[in-house]
Amino acid sequence: MRVQSPRDLAELFEALQTPGAQPLAGGTDLLVRLRAARKDGVKPLPASLVRLDGVEALRGVRREADGALRLGAASTHAELLAHPLVRAALPELAAALTQLGSPPIRNMGTLGGNICTASPAGDCLPPLYALGAVVELASQAGARRMRLAEFIAGPGRTGLKPGEVLAAAIVPPAPEFQVRHFEKVGRRGALAIAVVSLSALLRLERGRIAEARLAWGSVGPTVWRCPEAEAELVGRKPTLAALSAAAAVVRENVRPIGDLRASADYRRQVAGNLLLRLALL
């Protein structure tokens, strides 16, 4: 298998024209899947791997003119977690990055990889959904943007077209939300794949909730929002009673599956319970 290491976007797009070329970011997911494919021989291996880490245009963090943060897709989780803009402006994303994998995984894995793997359990995804993130996709034809919620179509399925790469995530920092939280539940205290996760943003006016954004991971094929629960909270104080009422709405509407990590009933109960944690903030 050939490995190509382009140094800029022009070289990257040229390399991706090679038949059978596969983009390679951190490789923490892709290389595991390729190793399994090589072992079972069911799926053909890519003819070449095109590394993204040497393309500076895909890395780094910067503030855009409208105040949004542009997060380079080839930036590693550790780089994003260490960046002062991310920690100050996107605390829920920083919290998710803190709980993502292990130090070696955070040092290798990238934001773009976490997004394009499109796993319902992806730790970065609930915060990005709640914040209204947009993805920027680049190819030889130019760049285009689309909402992250539209980009991810299902487990392992995205809106990427042939010859296209994820260049960045554009994230509004949302300073008007006073309550900003991320939490995940796993089967162990560390290095856990999320059984259920929640990213929550609450905007308060005169002590009452004026806007709620709630995004759950690992309870559906993609990150799940519950407009009914968000509406239940609007106009109410963020008390345990109000959160309990919204949690009941969540349990009524969520449709998780059961698997080796948790039953559907357990996920349904925990999805509601995570809302109650907001009363402690």
Taken in order of first residue, the domains within the chain and their CATH numbers are 2-50+61-171 (3.30.465.10), 179-280 (3.30.390.50)
Of the pLDDT bands very low, low, confident and very high (cuts 50, 70, 90), residue 95 is very high
184-211 tens-digit pLDDT:
999 887 778 999 999 999 999 999 999 9
Of the pLDDT bands very low, low, confident and very high (cuts 50, 70, 90), residue 1 is confident
Could you tell me which residue, 41 or 16, shows the higher pLDDT? 16
Helices 240-253 and 264-276: angle between axes, nearest 10 degrees = 160
β 21-24/134-139 pair status: unpaired
Report how far apart, in Å, the C-alpha atoms of 124 and of each of 109, 111, 131, 150, 184 are. 12, 8, 11, 16, 11
Instruction: State the average pLDDT over residues 129-145.
Output: 97
β 48-51/2-4 pair status: parallel
Of the pLDDT bands very low, low, confident and very high (cuts 50, 70, 90), residue 232 is very high
pTM to 2 decimal places: 0.94
pLDDT at 241: 97
Q: In what order do the strands lie in the sheet with 179-185?
A: 179-185, 196-205, 208-217, 224-225
pLDDT at 265: 97
Instruction: State the average pLDDT over residues 237-242.
Output: 97
Looking at the DSSP bridge assignments, the partners of residue 257 are none
Residue type, 157: R
Task: Report whether pLDDT(126) > 70.
Answer: yes
Task: Report whether pLDDT(38) > 90.
Answer: no
Lowest mean pLDDT among 40-49, 77-86, 129-138, 214-223: 40-49
Give me the chain's average pLDDT, please: 94
pLDDT at 256: 95
In three-state secondary structure terms, 239 is coil
The rounded percent of the chain whose pLDDT value lies above 70 is 99
Of the pLDDT bands very low, low, confident and very high (cuts 50, 70, 90), residue 41 is low
